[in-house]
Amino acid sequence: MKSLTEAMDALVHIVGQIESEEPVTGKVLAVNVIADPALEAWRERMTLVHWHRGAAVALEEQGFKVNREEAVAGGRYAEVWVLPDRQRESQLGDVAKAWDQVDEGGRLIVSVRNDWGAKRLEDQWREIVGVTVETYSKHHCRVFVARKRAGAWNEARVAAWREGAAMRRMPETGYWSRPGLFSWQGADVGSRILAVELPKTLEGDGADLGAGWGWLSMEVLKRCPEIRSLDAFEVDARAIEPARRNLGNVLVPVRPKLFWKDVTTGVGRAVYDFVVMNPPFHEGRDAEHGLGLKFITAAAAALKHEGELWMVANKQLPYEVLLEDLFAQVTMVAQRDGFKVLHAVGVNSKVHAAAGRSGGQRRGRGRGR
């Protein structure tokens, strides 16, 4: 994840410096860190947690086991490292939950990019913990370190940070969500526009790529009575439980399946009759227009030869060039409020040939958790 690279570099540098002066021999918990050769030194005593499937896979390829947050809840560690989220409530929650897992006498080490509100976060944390907070600057980031002393911190404020990031049922809609997810407080404009344009005649096996907390999948279930199955793929583990609850509340015969999966690596070959998606064009809040192109490529590979793609995008993004290369027919169905809805039909045979199969063949679904 490009948005965390500088924070990780700063963390590794400062941890190395601190360890050389005052080494920790106990267990280490690393939250949201990304793959780095420096982690090898802690392999035997490090527990890793990450919500992003792509980052988790990179760590697994380095030989580490990566856990979801709930798997390590309640553990205590001599040292906890955290690269917190950018979204404000989620960021505070990341720090609070990391603090919960620091053993008495242990250290919390937080690394945050300056443009993610590092100074404000550090100042607020300094007020809460009531102990000396050491601060370092490196790679356009702040790294701050606090040691946990019994009774020295304001537990009520830590609890408020923790609870502010928790999953909750939104009072106005009844949907489940949580801070840190895309458009976490309600459906975004682009998804709403796409849902209105979806034909009720969609049928067969479908997929929602980048399903988030499940709003677009819910709309597909409600609007399209002829579908046989729906698979929802999402890279953010934090979205899986809200989506499960939301989809479970849609009273239709189809029971969607949820997958913690990085869509950009593919979701199967020639297995779906239709795909719907509102692909991201940011990583965190950093513009990354290539993400949308990877989503389109994954969708084309996953569709049957005669399959159709329905997607929404910001109107200025030039996705049509790739779509016209991968599909026989591409139509702009609607354009309003800064968004466009694109419909692509008929996957070119070269797409499936490049994936090691022809469009006319069938194979069991390739699903990865």
Categorize the per-residue pLDDT at 22 as very low, low, confident or very high, splitting at 50, 70 and 90. Answer: confident
* Enclosing H/E stretch for 204: strand 203-209
Q: How far apart are CA 205 and CA 303, in angstroms?
A: 10
Nearest to 28 by CA among 48, 10, 11: 48
* Enclosing H/E stretch for 352: helix 349-354
Q: What is the mean pLDDT of the chain?
A: 91
| Residues across the chain | 369
Residues 276-328 pLDDT 10s: 999 987 554 445 678 999 999 999 999 999 999 999 999 999 999 999 999 99
Q: What is the pLDDT of residue 268?
A: 87
**Within 13 A of 206's CA, how many CA atoms are on the CB side?**
29
Nearest to 249 by CA among 222, 279, 209, 288: 222
Which tokens belong to 122?
A: 């550090």
Q: How far apart are CA 92 and CA 161, in angstroms?
A: 5
Domains, in order of start, for the chain: 2-165 (3.40.50.150), 169-354 (3.40.50.150)
